[in-house]
Chains A and B, each alone.
Chain A
Amino acid sequence: DVKVTQSSRYLVKRTGEKVFLECVQDMDHENMFWYRQDPGLGLRLIYFSYDVKMKEKGDIPEGYSVSREKKERFSLILESASTNQTSMYLCASSLSRGAGGLFHTDTQYFGPGTRLTVL
């Protein structure tokens, strides 16, 4: 059974704190993703990693950084948390499918989410 776990279900932090959100997958997937989900805005991609130590910015990377030192682990870092970063954060992983130098993202499996509140 596929499994993506996130370090916390609920987190409360203060403005200016450094925040680490951890995500671990046990499926040997190449791709890992961090999203945030807000009412009326849907899922928005923050960062994406397609291999160890590789990362790509998503639609809303400002105020965030990521780290992927091991294939199974993808961390999201809020260097200095702000109230507008209060949100549900979802991690996902997927295989890549393709050949001939072209790939596409296969089914994404999501973790249970971390509801972060920044006061």
Chain B
Amino acid sequence: RKEVEQDPGPFNVPEGATVAFNCTYSNSASQSFFWYRQDCRKEPKLLMSVYSSGNEDGRFTAQLNRASQYISLLIRDSKLSDSATYLCVVTPLYDSGGGADGLTFGKGTHLIIQP
């Protein structure tokens, strides 16, 4: 069973602090990696893709460590509006016959930014 593991939290963090959390995956054939954000009673929305070289978007930095099979998300200068659940997803390569095997979302990490 291919798994994606996240610490469910909640992470209670004061406004302005830096927070980081990881997502580990077991399928070494995983090809694509993403972080999604989900607000309460809303659908997940893409936060950022995760590239091998790491990538940054404003206060958010995502990194991939293939050797240790984890991805990370770092949030700097956290805002109240960053409070949400953060989901990671890993997807494999598949052939033209299609396949959802290994397309897996983590259960999410709940982040609460406190004033």
Contact = CB atoms under 8 A, between A and B. Distances in A.
The answer to whether A and B belong to the same complex is yes
Interface of A: 33, 35, 40-43, 45, 47-48, 50-51, 54, 56-58, 90, 97-98, 101-113
A33 B107 CA distance: 17
Contacts of B34: 107-108
Interface stretch (B9-17, B38-46, B59-67, B69-77): B38-46
Contacts of A35: 105
B93 A102 contact: yes
A104 B43 contact: no
B107 A106 contact: no
Contact of B106 (A42, A56, A97, A113): A42
B98 interface: yes
B95 A43 contact: no
A51 B43 contact: no
B16 to A, nearest CB: 29
Contacts of A50: 98-99
Contacts of B94: 102-104
A105 B34 CA distance: 11
Interface string B75-114: 0000000000001010111111011100111111000000
B49 A105 contact: no
Contacts, number: 69
B52 interface: no
Contact of B45 (A41, A48, A110): A110
Contacts of B100: 33, 45, 47-48, 56-58
A102 B103 contact: no
Contacts of A58: 100, 103
A90 B87 CA distance: 15
B43 A103 contact: no
A51 to B, nearest CB: 7
A108 B44 CA distance: 9
A106 B31 CA distance: 10
B64 to A, nearest CB: 14
Given A48-B100, A54-B98, A112 B92 contact: no
B32 interface: yes
Question: What are the nearest 3 A-B pairs in CB distance?
Answer: A42-B107, A48-B100, A50-B98
